[in-house]
Structure 1
Amino acid sequence: MNDKGQNRKSGMASRRIKVLQLISHLPVGGAEDLVAAIVRGLNPQLFQVQAATIGPLGQVGEELRKDGFEVVSLDLDLKRTPFCRLVLEVRGLLTRIAPDILHTHLYHPNLYGRLAALGLPLKGVVASVHNSYNRVKLHRALWNFLLSFTSHRILVSSLQVWQDVRRLDRVPERKLEILPYGVKLESLEIPISRQEAKNTLGLSGFVVGTVGRLEEQKGHRYLLAALPELSRRLPDLAVLLVGEGREAAALRSQARELGVGHLVHFLGTRRDLGLVLRAMDVFVQPSLWEGLPLALLLAMGAGLPVVGTRVSGISEVIFEGVNGLLVPPKDSAALARAILELHSRPDKREQWGRAAKETVTRHYSQEAMLRRLEGLYLALWEGKDS
């Protein structure tokens, strides 16, 4: 540690910086797992980190509590609770916890958290925008613009998200900072072969999969629409959909109507992603819009070749013909062609899988992400907000 870092550390020994991570709720998901990584991973000698949810706690929140971390839930219904009450409840939370730094995640916590923080003696207010904008909502753009002046930093996960927030919300450039997600590669290292992983999950043949909430944004229906053509060409095909969400029933119905229901395995929420990813031959990210999908980084970190749509952060991490293939969003035929290409070239799958892991190792380390975030929090604590 350099002299400056050592001085910071010694100066904080008797007074850790209190950081509150505020989010709507903590089910299994990319933003939610990121919050958990921050709570678990920040230097405990420098930071006292706590998470809070405006709505119900969720599985990730329960896991954090079980492991001894502080998590508070207001357990409010964001759709039915009046606006003013939401702000007042969050303000009461901030008053009780008295954090030095408030870090909010996603639109509603960014809104209610920053409004509630007005006039409170916080050293720093940080808001994270996790997704690019698929449509513009004028009231949201206005709130984001106005509240940018109360924020010390607005963190975004990719260049496309930076451009959306700058252009549509009119947030000043000096407030914006790109902080890509990072993944912990050690969690993906399991001592079994791909075939052994398939056997464990009761699978065989050529396995294609994706991980993510079963929501419109993730584009699962376009992957399912590609399956009739794929199944004609690949008689040993198996498809894994990992996750839960509002589209689950519709996706099951679509698979049955297309006559491919026997090929699709709906695995629900899984916390053994190392095993699930090891069983896949190709990972597909068919999203319609994104920030930077954590699941994609995990798949690449697991050494899988990837097929992704050419949207936002996906196109920033997949390099065509180097570590995977890019296709237009909402294009099932292009998805099918890309998967068939990877099936026909096992040498490319192996080569691109190695390149994918190298991409994540070099540029998307969880450790590097956490150290950058610590640097930001320390700078805000010291009053260096520019």
Structure 2
Amino acid sequence: MSGVLAEGTAEQPGQRPLRVLHVVSAMNRGGIETWLMQVFRSQDQARVRNELMTFSAAPGDYDDELRALEVPVWRCPPLGSALAFARCMFGTMRRERFDVVHSHPHQFSGVVLLLARLAGIPGRIAHSHIDTRAPDRSAGLPRRVYLSVMNTLLRLCATEGVAVSAPAAEALFGEGWQRQDRCRVLPLGLDLSAYAPPADAHAERAATRASFGFGPDTLLIGHVGWFIPVKNHTFLLRVFAEVAGRLPEARLLLIGVGELTAEVREQAERLGIINRVVFAGSRGDVPGLLRAMDVFVFPSLAEGLGLALIEAQVSGLPCVLADQLPAESRLPGAVLFPVPLAAGPEAWADAVLQAAATPHHVPETHGVDLAQAVRLLEGRYAHYRH
């Protein structure tokens, strides 16, 4: 069936665990990797033995925890060493004979799953986490050639495709993805216990704010995301500058790292707000930081889903977001203020101040239950047992 992922065949007692190889570039604190870690923490290794393959020489943020969880990590050379990379990936797949290769790096999954097919891996899953339709439509000739080759490889080599939302599915599998039996939307789940307020929530909030020099009454606006163009930090700073002009005691907390960090800092300097913006970097305590915020602002140009936005809603935060983001990113009962990006910083600042005056409210969360997502995944994996 197409559409939303359905549960598959149940595992029989006494069967060996399925070996599933997840392929990612590196295990840092991004949306894909954070979700994978939650899956690894919750999944019973007696049923599914999760393993990882990366193609980055740099250590990842989650490396220590992966060792503690006893998740094997296979490391291949970076993509710049194309022949060595391909030899490493193919050799590992052929030698280890995994049941499933679950590939996460969007279009490059075409190469990953070609190698998996050549290695004789029965289950070859391409997972779309992002919406690249706009940049793909405006791509130059070299990029269009690359996309054409990758799309052909995916059609030939993927046994199925899953996506975090309908826009993400269309971005990787084409406009007719719903008519393809092998393509489905997989509702992503979260470990909701991590976002529930602790018994001493008031003290935790005060302590977190104090650690950054914020007082209990400071209007704290927050954002979580990689410093990359699609996250639209430059627009976010313009919105905050407008808010700060009306409410000088407001502060902005930015969580994340990336290629544009220095550029965003320079922009904050030019706007005269650098002393009101905290660059917190990559953090492992995001749930606690969300509980310390008053408003979450998410002006992304595009998102496959927007896991950080889901996390903010689950935490009860009022959220100001770009109105074109996927419907799957909005939880029933969440406090949401969708605004067109074209409305400009002043309209966004109006929404932020309106959100700041709105009580926090935890929405319905049955659609983002991690246990359900894990069951759905295991059902799909079970089809590919050797």
Taking structure 2 as the reference length, what is the TM-score of the superposition? 0.87
Letter in 1 for 2:67: R
The answer to whether the 8 A contact 2:22-2:52 is kept is yes
- Aligned CA RMSD, in angstroms, stands at 2.5
In the superposition, relative to structure 1, how do residues 146 and 116 fare at CA in structure 2: closer, same or farther (>3 Å)? Answer: closer
Match 1:323 to one of 335, 342, 346: 335
In the superposition, relative to structure 1, how do residues 188 and 69 fare at CA in structure 2: closer, same or farther (>3 Å)? Answer: same
In the superposition, relative to structure 1, how do residues 272 and 177 fare at CA in structure 2: closer, same or farther (>3 Å)? Answer: same
Find out whether 1:284 has 2:305 as its counterpart: no
Find the counterpart in structure 2 of residue 9 from structure 1.
12
Find the counterpart in structure 1 of residue 347 from structure 2.
334
Query: Which one scores higher on RCO, CA 8 angstroms, separation ≥ 6?
Result: 2
Find out whether 1:69 has 2:71 as its counterpart: yes
Find out whether 1:366 has 2:370 as its counterpart: yes
Find the counterpart in structure 2 of residue 377 from structure 1.
381
Cα distance in 1 for partners of 2:108, 2:27 equals 12
Find out whether 1:241 has 2:254 as its counterpart: yes
Unaligned runs of 5+ in 1: none
Taking structure 1 as the reference length, what is the TM-score of the superposition? 0.87
The answer to whether the 8 A contact 1:148-1:175 is kept is no
Identity %: 27
Letter in 2 for 1:30: G
Cα distance in 1 for partners of 2:170, 2:107 equals 20
Find out whether 1:26 has 2:37 as its counterpart: no
Q: SS at the partner of 2:181?
A: helix
Cα deviation, 1:260-293, whole Å, max 9, x if unaligned, reads 1111000001111122111100111111111111
For residues 1-386 of structure 1, the aligned pairs below 5 Å read: 8-12=11-15, 15-56=16-57, 57-74=59-76, 76-78=77-79, 80-82=80-82, 84-107=83-106, 110-133=109-132, 134-136=134-136, 137-138=143-144, 139-167=146-174, 173-189=180-196, 190=198, 191-193=200-202, 194-204=205-215, 205-313=218-326, 315-318=327-330, 323-329=335-341, 331-343=344-356, 345=357, 349-350=358-359, 353-354=360-361, 357-359=362-364, 361-381=365-385
Letter in 2 for 1:149: L
In the superposition, relative to structure 1, how do residues 25 and 123 fare at CA in structure 2: closer, same or farther (>3 Å)? Answer: same
The answer to whether the 8 A contact 1:209-1:284 is kept is yes
The answer to whether the 8 A contact 2:110-2:153 is kept is no
Find the counterpart in structure 1 of residue 139 from structure 2.
none
Q: SS at the partner of 1:86?
A: helix
The answer to whether the 8 A contact 2:170-2:177 is kept is no
Cα deviation, 1:292-340, whole Å, max 9, x if unaligned, reads 1111111111111111112343x43337995211112363333212102
In the superposition, relative to structure 1, how do residues 93 and 306 fare at CA in structure 2: closer, same or farther (>3 Å)? Answer: same
* Aligned pairs, number: 364
The answer to whether the 8 A contact 1:290-1:311 is kept is no
Cα distance in 1 for partners of 2:339, 2:232 equals 13
